[in-house]
A and B are shown apart, each in its own frame.
Chain A
Amino acid sequence: MASPDDGNVIVPDSGEAAVKVINLVKTFDNGSVTALDRVSFTVPKGQLLVIIGLSGSGKSTLLRHLNRLHLPTEGSVEVLGQDVPALTRPELRILRRNIGFVFQQFNIVGRVTCIENVLSGALGRIRGPRIGAMMYPKWLRVEAFEQLDRVGLADRAWQRTDTLSGGQQQRVAIARSLMQKPKIVLADEPVASLDPEISGQVMDLLVQCCIEDEITVLCSLHQVDLALGWAHRLIGLRDGKVVLDSPVDESLDHNRVMDVYRELDPTGAKRDEYVSSDIDPIS
């Protein structure tokens, strides 16, 4: 059991907020399913925030609101000082350029080269469509190499991405996000489809790069121990509600964190439902 005892907890400068979510409500299927229920929180710049919760508790939905892959049903979402739902399409593209997104399923194009996937992170900075790595200007290719090097894959640049292992593919995806020169990185269970050993490596890499570039990170995770190792702050979601919001320090009890995952329904009527939905992709 890991405890938040290490001294590497950096208190972020309490400057302006990078993300401000107020009373966010999201329902699907005409209101029959509530994915997010009045969620509110503020993330200062430079903070490393981890969101934990069962599968289906709304973690992904929450993250996807921040770069408008979803639109809120109610409430406001403010990212980098901008009202996300109200943005016009050009404004949205500029915002998205400033937000890197790392997906659980990597979401890279498997059949093109690694460098081309990384280069696609620069699409928001250039105009017009691109087919093939050679259609990107040379200075961008140099930059892409540097980002690939940061994730330790510069030697794989011209290799097809689907020939890489899962951990390597996720590192390519991280390089693509870094290529955007983002101010915020959203990571949606970035290591959920990797084995524990590789998970640790990928998370360390992501965090290290983000600290180097002073990037705010919002990351959803299942591995509580992994989260306690480096997060500044934990938010716990259950059934779309915030049930835990605490800085990671000595006062944070491990049991309190695990309660987010625990069955709290005294009648046990919903037990089966929880068991069946709690399929951890790690195992």
Chain B
Amino acid sequence: MSALDTSDQRTQRNRNGTESDFSDQVSRPWTLQRAQIWSVVVLVVVAFVWSIRRVGLSFSGIAEIIEGWPATWRLLGRMVPPFIPSEDWDVVTSAAFDTFFMAFAGTALGLVLGIPLGLLSARNVMPWAPVRGLAKLAIVFSRAIPALVFAIFFVRIYGIGVLPGVIAIGIHSIGMIGKLTADAAEDIDPGPREGVASTGAGPMQDLSTGVWSQMVPTVITISLYRLELDFRSAPILGWVGAGGIGVLLRAYQGSLRYQEMLGVTLLIVVLVIVLEALSALTRHALLGTTERLSGKVKQSKSNRLGSGLASPGTKIADWIIDRSKQRATLRNQLSPRRLTPPWTTERVKVNTVGLIFSALLVLSLIIPDIGADEVITGSGNIPEMLRRLTPNDWSWFTDRIVSDLIDTLGIGISATGLALLFAIPFSFLAASNTAPGRFVYLCSRSFMLLVRCAPELVVAVIFVAAIGPGPRAGSLALAIAMFGFITKLFADAIEEARQGIRDGVTSTGSTRLQESTTAVLPQVITSKISNSMYLLDVAVRNSAVVGIVGGGGIGFLVINASRQLEWETLGGIIFCIFLVVYAIELLATWVRRKVT
């Protein structure tokens, strides 16, 4: 009773405006969750400041670009006009084909190995925990080690050529494919599985009919996405001798023929754009139909409801009579031909795409000239190599490794920070629903796509030449690559923001900018944080690589150990990279789980 009284009095007083009891409530109370969020924010800022200082940059990176501008300008001047000498054309085209097929075969290898591993690591597919753990370990390891590091290792085993490139891409792809496959398997609807189980199906039948049939679209998406990523990383592998167009890139850079180098780079960019378009077409041919079909379902549902209101519907008796009529017509249709699926346009499409891909797979084993004997003799060396890679003592461990690993972390974090700094505002310009105009949107989108397609190692080479070797160059180059990568994810997320909420805010009379911050930002913030953590994960992994071209960090020691045949050192460093990258990945997944 008394509680009721006071609250009555309180509202009374407030209405009269004499006194407000809410004054102590107008600021948001400190909850544990809020404290956690703010401490994370502080930590993120501290980490960013630290990393910027560690790699020796100014806070926007712009000062360095201005400082290095004359040198960069001179370098760019020596690069234009890009050209490829006519006597090299044969070599260049065959190298381009090799690269294409290398990426293709590598992805195929990754799928063949990664999908079963992914299924084995899925909780709802593999009930036995030790097997799951082993599969997960393999997945995590292959994800953590960059393809370029695998390439260095496999070039030592199989010799210079396309084969080590294929295997490096394949082994590295296992990680992502396996992880996403496991996620897809764990995400399936358990209902249909129960349906299959209660027909008396065995475990393999359950896997094929209950699990796999639900996963197919996701697996197609994963495969195409991985193929795109591999097309992007394949041109670089040649840098360490793993075949393809990267070999030429290295040769031109080594002999300071910058015009040819830019020519090849542009060729790579064009190739990547074309392949990305092809992949988008394929995805549309295979999965675009799903969207159209689901649209149809919605339509037919509303039709059904509408007609249900209009007419009482058919009586069951009529319906059974109808059915016997149908049965009569069906008997005529039940020719053997009907027992095979009809050749609808969709089926033709899917089969054509399937045929093309099988043909490409066969070609990718023939064109780059991979011999079976090469595979067999090389593979025989693997156990011996692994034995040599395993360190016997700690003699390989030096302070240099520790400081270079910290540099690597610094490069990864600073590149992520710089990329985010520019990507967050830019993504609003590159999203069709928030861009101030069609023209701005198209310009921003094209710029973003262009940046995405430039191989980061080539950008790193340019920065190293312009502002000198060291983590500064690596960080800036990586920041540019990461900028292209994350802007696309951000812009896509913004485009998915719900229009209704935006209308609600606009109708209060807000400006465009207010509407973006109030209606759009809260909708996309969780996906932005989640994507940013993913970006950090990717950046740290790539920062281990930029050192190979002089961009600072652990990469230099990797390539050095490999050149001087210091196997134990190489093995030890790879293990260290694994630890660092895995730690960052754990952190990233932890934060992503917290925010979503």
- A69 touching B197, Cβ below 8 Å: yes
- A160 / chain B contacts, CB cutoff of 8 Å: 293
B322 to chain A, nearest CB (A): 8
A85 to chain B, nearest CB (A): 16
- B300 touching A195, Cβ below 8 Å: no
Q: Is the C-beta of B319 less than 8 angstroms from some C-beta in chain A?
A: yes
- A197 touching B290, Cβ below 8 Å: no
The B335-356 residues at the A interface (CB cut-off 8 A) are 336, 338-342, 344
Contact partner of B208 (CB less than 8 A), chosen from A67, A97, A129, is A129
- Bitwise, B267-311 to A at CB < 8 A (1) or not (0) is 000000000000000000000001001101100110010001000
Given contacts A129-B204, A129-B205, contact A107 B192 (CB under 8 A): yes
Assembled-state Cα–Cα distance A51/B290 (Å): 39
The A66-89 residues at the B interface (CB cut-off 8 A) are 67, 69
Interface size on A, residues (CB 8 A): 60
Q: Is the C-beta of B201 less than 8 angstroms from some C-beta in chain A?
A: yes
- A200 touching B208, Cβ below 8 Å: no
Q: Is the C-beta of A204 less than 8 angstroms from some C-beta in chain B?
A: yes
B327 to chain A, nearest CB (A): 6
- A180 touching B200, Cβ below 8 Å: yes
- B195 touching A108, Cβ below 8 Å: yes
The A104-147 residues at the B interface (CB cut-off 8 A) are 105-109, 111-113, 116, 120-125, 127-131, 133-134, 138, 141-142, 145
A147 to chain B, nearest CB (A): 12
**Chain B residue at minimum C-beta to C-beta distance from A97:** B200
Contact partner of A180 (CB less than 8 A), chosen from B199, B212, B322, is B199
- B204 / chain A contacts, CB cutoff of 8 Å: 128-129
Kindly specify which of B15-23, B169-177, B213-221, B564-572 makes contact with the partner chain: B213-221
The A153-207 residues at the B interface (CB cut-off 8 A) are 154-155, 157-158, 160, 162-163, 165, 173, 176-177, 179-180, 195, 197, 200-201, 204
Assembled-state Cα–Cα distance A99/B323 (Å): 26
Q: Is the C-beta of A93 less than 8 angstroms from some C-beta in chain B?
A: yes
- B312 / chain A contacts, CB cutoff of 8 Å: 197
- B330 touching A149, Cβ below 8 Å: yes
Q: Is the C-beta of A281 less than 8 angstroms from some C-beta in chain B?
A: no
- B342 / chain A contacts, CB cutoff of 8 Å: 158
- A134 touching B341, Cβ below 8 Å: yes
- B294 touching A162, Cβ below 8 Å: yes
**Chain B residue at minimum C-beta to C-beta distance from A113:** B341
- A113 / chain B contacts, CB cutoff of 8 Å: 341
- A129 / chain B contacts, CB cutoff of 8 Å: 204-205, 207-209
B283 to chain A, nearest CB (A): 16
- A103 touching B294, Cβ below 8 Å: no
- B130 / chain A contacts, CB cutoff of 8 Å: none
- A116 / chain B contacts, CB cutoff of 8 Å: 213
- B214 / chain A contacts, CB cutoff of 8 Å: 109, 111
- B191 touching A165, Cβ below 8 Å: no
- A100 / chain B contacts, CB cutoff of 8 Å: 198-199
Given contacts A109-B209, A129-B205, contact A195 B195 (CB under 8 A): no
Contact partner of A163 (CB less than 8 A), chosen from B193, B296, B304, is B296
**Chain A residue at minimum C-beta to C-beta distance from B329:** A155
Assembled-state Cα–Cα distance A112/B341 (Å): 12
Q: Is the C-beta of A2 less than 8 angstroms from some C-beta in chain B?
A: no
- A92 / chain B contacts, CB cutoff of 8 Å: 200
- A124 touching B199, Cβ below 8 Å: yes
Given contacts A111-B290, A142-B339, A165-B300, contact A67 B207 (CB under 8 A): no
Q: Which of A152, A177, A180, A195 is packed against the most chain B CB atoms within 10 Å?
A: A152
- A109 / chain B contacts, CB cutoff of 8 Å: 192, 209-210, 213-214
- A93 touching B200, Cβ below 8 Å: yes
- A111 / chain B contacts, CB cutoff of 8 Å: 213-214, 216-217, 290
Assembled-state Cα–Cα distance A163/B299 (Å): 10
Contact partner of A201 (CB less than 8 A), chosen from B316, B336, B338, is B316
Contact partner of A204 (CB less than 8 A), chosen from B195, B316, B338, is B316
A107 to chain B, nearest CB (A): 3
- A99 touching B297, Cβ below 8 Å: no
Assembled-state Cα–Cα distance A155/B320 (Å): 15
- B205 / chain A contacts, CB cutoff of 8 Å: 123, 128-130
- A152 / chain B contacts, CB cutoff of 8 Å: 319, 322-323, 326
- B341 / chain A contacts, CB cutoff of 8 Å: 113, 133-134, 158
- A133 / chain B contacts, CB cutoff of 8 Å: 341
Q: Is the C-beta of A35 less than 8 angstroms from some C-beta in chain B?
A: no
- B340 / chain A contacts, CB cutoff of 8 Å: 134
- A154 touching B293, Cβ below 8 Å: no
Q: Is the C-beta of B202 less than 8 angstroms from some C-beta in chain A?
A: yes
- A124 touching B300, Cβ below 8 Å: no
- A103 / chain B contacts, CB cutoff of 8 Å: 191, 194-195
- A93 touching B202, Cβ below 8 Å: yes
Residues of A within 8 A of B (CB): 67, 69, 92-101, 103, 105-109, 111-113, 116, 120-125, 127-131, 133-134, 138, 141-142, 145, 149, 152, 154-155, 157-158, 160, 162-163, 165, 173, 176-177, 179-180, 195, 197, 200-201, 204, 208
Can you list the 5 inter-chain pairs with the closest CB atoms, starting with the nearest? Answer: A124-B200, A97-B200, A129-B208, A107-B195, A96-B200
Apart from A105-B191, A149-B330: 7 A-B pairs, beta carbons within 8 A: A93-B202, A130-B205, A152-B326, A158-B342, A165-B300, A176-B199, A180-B199
Q: List 10 A-B contacts (CB under 8 A).
A: A93-B202, A96-B198, A123-B201, A124-B200, A142-B334, A152-B322, A154-B333, A163-B293, A173-B195, A179-B199
